[in-house]
Amino acid sequence: MSGYISLTYIDLVLASTFLILNGILSLWLRLGLERKLAIAALRMVVQLALVGLLLKSLFSILSPWLTLLVALFMVVFAGREVWARQERKLHGVWGFGLGTGTMAFAGAGITVIALTTMIGPDPWWTPRFALPILGMVLGNTMTGVSLALDSLHTAVVRERVAIEAQLLLGADRWQALRPVLRRALRAGFMPIINAMAATGVVSLPGMMTGQILSGVDPAEAVKYQLLVMFLIGGATGLGVLLATFGAVWRLTDEHHRLRLERLTKPKETV
């Protein structure tokens, strides 16, 4: 069978009944999640509908500047999500800039390399290729960076006494913070490691499933999925490393002193 099967709005409504069932169960069990489920579902529908209209226009206009503008918006929004998911954040521009900058460098940089050397659309910035790949890379990098930074900031505060004791005994900032840095790196790497380990056995990734449903040969879909997973893994690892090392550098000074006043308090979390 070739081609794709078109879905109707009735199909989508029927699929949403399973989510509605979750909301009913939440009410019955008094979990308090029904409101969050409803808001998340509504936000998803609105965002995807707007994105669909936007992408349709971008595909027809084929403008490098509009493509760049949308890519920048995606990076900034991902940076805001990284900032918001941390219980303790760096004060000032560092709080938003560290996660955003590392994701822009890692995610956008690797996406550009993939478009210009591996995928090779003409032109290379064609939005039909550039924006979906950037979205997949950024989404996973965002998760890794936010987990790593949240783990690092929380651990530094929790283990302040032990870290400062090491510093007083003559250790430099990297030696004193090495244990918490390693745990933060593991936390950031774990989602993509789990995703790669389970791909093909436990789950069929969304991109591959979508291509197969649209009639693409499974072998070709596998190649594209492998390419995307390699890009995601590389961008996530690079972003996590840059973000955590940058946070360690910011939370200490040139005299190798711990500077926890540069972190917000948990009550300031949004």
**97-135 per-position pLDDT tens digit:** 999 999 899 999 999 999 999 988 889 999 989 998 999
Does residue 51 sit in the same domain as residue 114? no
232 contact partners, CB below 8 Å, separation of at least 6: 136, 137, 140, 141, 192, 195
Q: What is the mean pLDDT of residues 19-48?
A: 90
Does residue 255 sit in the same domain as residue 225? yes
Domain boundary among 61, 88, 105: 61
pLDDT at 268 over 60: no
Does residue 143 sit in the same domain as residue 236? yes
- CB atoms under 10 Å from CB of 127, counted, come to 24
Q: Summarize pLDDT for 54-94 with one digit per residue, the tens.
A: 888 888 888 899 999 999 999 999 999 899 888 888 988 99
The residue among 226, 197, 192 whose CA lies nearest residue 211 is: 226
Does residue 29 sit in the same domain as residue 128? no
> Which pLDDT score is estimated for 187?
93
Q: Mean pLDDT across the chain, nearest whole number?
A: 88
Q: Summarize pLDDT for 83-92 with one digit per residue, the tens.
A: 988 888 898 8
The CA-atom distances, in angstroms, between 217 and each of 90, 121, 130, 206, 226 are 47, 20, 22, 15, 14
Instruction: Answer for the pair 128, 59: CB distance below 8 angstroms, yes or no.
Output: yes
The band of 21, judged by pLDDT with boundaries at 50, 70 and 90, is very high
Q: What is the mean pLDDT of residues 134-153?
A: 92
Percentage with pLDDT > 90 across the chain = 47
Does residue 43 sit in the same domain as residue 96? no
Does residue 52 sit in the same domain as residue 166? no
Containing structural domain, residue 35: 1-61
> Which pLDDT score is estimated for 150?
92
> Which pLDDT score is estimated for 1?
45
Domain count, the chain: 2
More confident residue, 228 or 268: 228
pLDDT at 270 over 70: no
> Which pLDDT score is estimated for 267?
61
Instruction: Answer for the pair 243, 90: CB distance below 8 angstroms, yes or no.
Output: no
Q: Summarize pLDDT for 164-206 with one digit per residue, the tens.
A: 899 888 888 899 999 999 999 999 999 999 888 887 776 667 7
Does residue 132 sit in the same domain as residue 221? yes
